[in-house]
Chains A and B, each alone.
Chain A
Amino acid sequence: MTACRPAEPEPASKGIALMKYVVLGAGPAGVTAAETLRSVDPNASITLIGGEPEPPYSRMALPYLIYGKIGEDGTQLRQDPGHYDQQRIRYIMGRCGGIDSRSKQLFLSTGETLPYDKLLIATGASPIRPPIPGSNLEGVENCWTLEDARNILKYADKGSPVVLVGAGFIGSIILEALYLRGCKITVVEVAPRMVARMMDETAGGMLGRWCEAKGVQVLTNTRVTGIAKGAEGGARLSVRFSNGLSEPADLAVLAVGVRSNTGFLVGSGVAVNTGIVVDEYLQTTAKDIYAAGDCCEGIDLSTGKPDMLAIQPVAVEHGRIAALNMAGRKHRHRGSLNMNVLDTMGLISSSFGLWQGAQVGETGKLIDEHAFKYMKLEFEGDKLVGAQCVGMTDHVGMLRGLIQTGFHMGEWKDKLLAAPERLREAYVSVSQRAPTTGPTAPHVKTPVVEVSHAGASGH
């Protein structure tokens, strides 16, 4: 790998040669990176390329567009229309068809060739189209782009029958949006439970029961075997299942997983595994090319191994760190914490880190099936390494704090194993020392800790 080679000799012209940064992809990773580059390099030329004919927007906001909580404007990553001009970030649209990492240029579908000094690839991922007969029919949609969301709005109205294929994390988010839009939903999932890759049987089972109580038909252990045009005068489609039954649908939404967008990298010298391979500085195997977000395999904090986590906070984290490294401010990425929060028609669940448990560890559980409440804490030694919650939202961020920090829980470990609901007390207790002044302070004063402020401020 060619990390950290001295910079090429600058052209000896008068003044300073301006750095040319190109950021490919205008999702959260790309936009954050472009802004970070601007904040550390006031003079550089920064070009941000979006692959869709839209202002930079957030895929995460699409469900809220679908049920009318926001309009299209509300999906934008930055609200001020003049934001990119003001930051002197040139925002252009075009699909990248290839990269020449030797001559350091990038080719766009528009015919434009862009030279770069440093390039960030932040092209995200695309939904997998399962090989289901009829999946190219009108009314069979993904829910991934703004265009997809517009189609969903077109095909499904209040009362429309809809089949949702996939009840993973993203599928379940779409489920809620379709429900709040007033659609009549059947959700089909190959796995034995909902959100199988985010939560365990107990939690997945609770979600399933909750959905059924809300009038959603949940078919687990079931595949879609084919989609056909519906009968004349009836619903647009007819969706067949592996259990032999079929359902009419005006809309079928496919949410069966995503794959990193890396097709244009063939022959570029940028190595790709399931996502773009990056080192701990988010640099790819090609010189001066970095990658961030859903398109790459960054380090998973919990395992220390590369993995595609495909969540918004990770995309932003990658974007910032990659940009700092591109600008020559070495910043090692120690890994991102996998975490999700999900609202399923009012039942809120979350999972963090090694929610499946450590290889050798201990588990504290609190289950109230009746009240739809569940909390499970996973320990390795006396550190919290993973957690799942259903039906509790108060201060859940503390779980991230404890896991990410790796606090030694000490005596609190046993207390939490016995009573996970004491989490907040435990958090405050291990993260805050006892008071050093006032009536409840110790009578012999303990020395005050020196706190270094160096580097604690923002850029």
Chain B
Amino acid sequence: MLKALVIDAGNCTGCKQCEMACSLENEGEFNAAKSRIRVFDFHTEARFVPYTCTQCDEAWCQQACPVNAITTDSLGVKVVHDNLCVGCKVCTIACPFGTVNYNASTGKVIKCDLCGGKPACADACPTGAITYQDVEQGGFDKMKVWATQSANAATYDGPNVPKGSQASGTGH
């Protein structure tokens, strides 16, 4: 059954437990700078938005990779293969969401891979702002709403629409 991260920014208190959990799980260290999920902090509005890769159907990062180092696993997750990645960083400028990033200490890139099906961020989140839900249970729709708000990146009144995606823009 397909599952997805569902992010409900309204429940986020900005504690950043998710960043710590992600960095520990994937990098073996407490270093928010290496977390694949980031919490953006809007000081003036007292608002926090956890933000990570939405595992696009037709992923920009994947299509731009010159050596096919990003593949899609059985859960639909876009996974970077360290043994193939040459560290060219083209994916980091190709992803219009900015959610694949260069890790200078390995010379490769990192992005969310849902921890192979057990996302540490969702486990760590104390308020339920990040949950990992079955696609069928409606969570996925929410996720899509969340995703398309930025996937508007592709559809809003901008000059370019990526192949295939024609979801209607929402405006502001």
Shortest Cβ distance from residue A375 to the other chain B in the assembled complex, whole angstroms: 14
Contact A451 B168 (CB under 8 A): yes
Contact B87 A64 (CB under 8 A): yes
Contact A70 B157 (CB under 8 A): no
Query: Could you give, for residues 339-371 of chain A, a 1 whenever the CB lies within 8 Å of some chain B CB and a 0 otherwise?
Result: 111010010101010000000000000000000
Also in contact, A401 and B11, with CB within 8 A (given A64-B87, A434-B47, A451-B148): no
Q: Which of B116-137 contact A (CB under 8 A)?
A: 129
**Chain A positions within 8 Å of B33 at CB level:** 394
Query: Could you give, for residues 149-171 of chain B, a 1 whenever the CB lies within 8 Å of some chain A CB and a 0 otherwise?
Result: 11011101111110111111010
Interfacial residues, chain A to chain B (CB-CB below 8 A): 28, 32, 58, 60-61, 64, 69-70, 74-79, 301, 312-313, 316-317, 320-321, 324, 331, 334-337, 339-341, 343, 346, 348, 350, 352, 393-402, 404-408, 410, 424-425, 427-441, 448-459
Q: 27 A-B Cβ contacts within 8 A?
A: A28-B66, A58-B67, A75-B67, A313-B64, A313-B90, A341-B88, A352-B93, A393-B92, A395-B98, A397-B94, A397-B97, A401-B97, A401-B150, A405-B96, A406-B159, A424-B38, A429-B42, A433-B170, A435-B9, A435-B49, A438-B12, A439-B10, A449-B170, A451-B168, A454-B166, A455-B164, A456-B165
The 6 closest A-B pairs by CB, nearest first: A438-B10, A435-B10, A401-B96, A395-B98, A406-B158, A398-B98
Shortest Cβ distance from residue A399 to the other chain B in the assembled complex, whole angstroms: 8
For A405, give the chain B residue with the smallest CB separation: B158
**Chain A positions within 8 Å of B95 at CB level:** 397, 400-401
Query: Could you give, for residues 100-121 of chain B, a 1 whenever the CB lies within 8 Å of some chain A CB and a 0 otherwise?
Result: 1110100100000000000000
How far does the alpha carbon of A439 sit from the alpha carbon of B47 in the complex, in Å? 10
**Chain B positions within 8 Å of A449 at CB level:** 145, 170
From A301, A436, A441, B159 is in contact (CB under 8 Å) with A301
Contact A393 B47 (CB under 8 A): no
**Chain B positions within 8 Å of A424 at CB level:** 38, 40, 98
How far does the alpha carbon of A434 sit from the alpha carbon of B72 in the complex, in Å? 31
Shortest Cβ distance from residue B22 to the other chain A in the assembled complex, whole angstroms: 15
Also in contact, A431 and B163, with CB within 8 A (given A339-B93, A407-B158, A437-B10): no
Contact A313 B158 (CB under 8 A): no
Shortest Cβ distance from residue B157 to the other chain A in the assembled complex, whole angstroms: 6
**Chain A positions within 8 Å of B90 at CB level:** 60, 312-313, 341
Tell me if B16 is interfacial: C-beta within 8 Å of chain A: no
Shortest Cβ distance from residue B41 to the other chain A in the assembled complex, whole angstroms: 8
How far does the alpha carbon of A456 sit from the alpha carbon of B170 in the complex, in Å? 15
**Chain B positions within 8 Å of A69 at CB level:** 86-87, 107
Q: How many A-B residue pairs have CB under 8 A?
A: 223
From A32, A395, A431, A435, B152 is in contact (CB under 8 Å) with A431
Tell me if B68 is interfacial: C-beta within 8 Å of chain A: yes
**Chain A positions within 8 Å of B45 at CB level:** 434
For A334, give the chain B residue with the smallest CB separation: B160
Contact A451 B167 (CB under 8 A): yes
Also in contact, A440 and B96, with CB within 8 A (given A301-B159, A425-B40): no
Contact A346 B104 (CB under 8 A): yes
Shortest Cβ distance from residue A130 to the other chain B in the assembled complex, whole angstroms: 27
**Chain A positions within 8 Å of B10 at CB level:** 435-441
How far does the alpha carbon of A126 sit from the alpha carbon of B13 in the complex, in Å? 55
Query: What 4 additional pairs, Cβ within 8 angstroms, besides A397-B94, A405-B154, A424-B98?
Result: A313-B63, A398-B96, A400-B93, A401-B98
Contact B57 A456 (CB under 8 A): yes
Contact A435 B86 (CB under 8 A): no
Contact B63 A316 (CB under 8 A): yes
For B95, give the chain A residue with the smallest CB separation: A397
Shortest Cβ distance from residue B30 to the other chain A in the assembled complex, whole angstroms: 18
Contact B97 A457 (CB under 8 A): no
How far does the alpha carbon of A424 sit from the alpha carbon of B42 in the complex, in Å? 10
How far does the alpha carbon of A400 sit from the alpha carbon of B89 in the complex, in Å? 14
Contact A64 B88 (CB under 8 A): yes
How far does the alpha carbon of A431 sit from the alpha carbon of B150 in the complex, in Å? 5
How far does the alpha carbon of A79 sit from the alpha carbon of B70 in the complex, in Å? 11
How far does the alpha carbon of A454 sit from the alpha carbon of B45 in the complex, in Å? 35
Contact B160 A337 (CB under 8 A): yes
**Chain A positions within 8 Å of B64 at CB level:** 312-313, 316
Q: Of A452, A456, A458, which is in contact with the most chain B CB atoms at under 10 Å from its CB?
A: A456
Tell me if B84 is interfacial: C-beta within 8 Å of chain A: yes
Shortest Cβ distance from residue A410 to the other chain B in the assembled complex, whole angstroms: 8
**Chain A positions within 8 Å of B42 at CB level:** 425, 429
Contact B102 A348 (CB under 8 A): yes
Contact A428 B93 (CB under 8 A): no
Also in contact, A431 and B63, with CB within 8 A (given A341-B93, A452-B167, A458-B58): no
Contact A321 B84 (CB under 8 A): no
Contact A76 B160 (CB under 8 A): no
**Chain B positions within 8 Å of A32 at CB level:** 63
Tell me if B46 is interfacial: C-beta within 8 Å of chain A: yes
**Chain A positions within 8 Å of B38 at CB level:** 395, 424
For B148, give the chain A residue with the smallest CB separation: A451
Shortest Cβ distance from residue B92 to the other chain A in the assembled complex, whole angstroms: 6
From B11, B157, B168, A439 is in contact (CB under 8 Å) with B11
Contact B93 A397 (CB under 8 A): yes
From B46, B102, B152, B167, A393 is in contact (CB under 8 Å) with B102
From A335, A432, A456, B166 is in contact (CB under 8 Å) with A456
**Chain A positions within 8 Å of B163 at CB level:** 317, 320-321, 324, 331
Shortest Cβ distance from residue B37 to the other chain A in the assembled complex, whole angstroms: 12
**Chain A positions within 8 Å of B154 at CB level:** 404-405
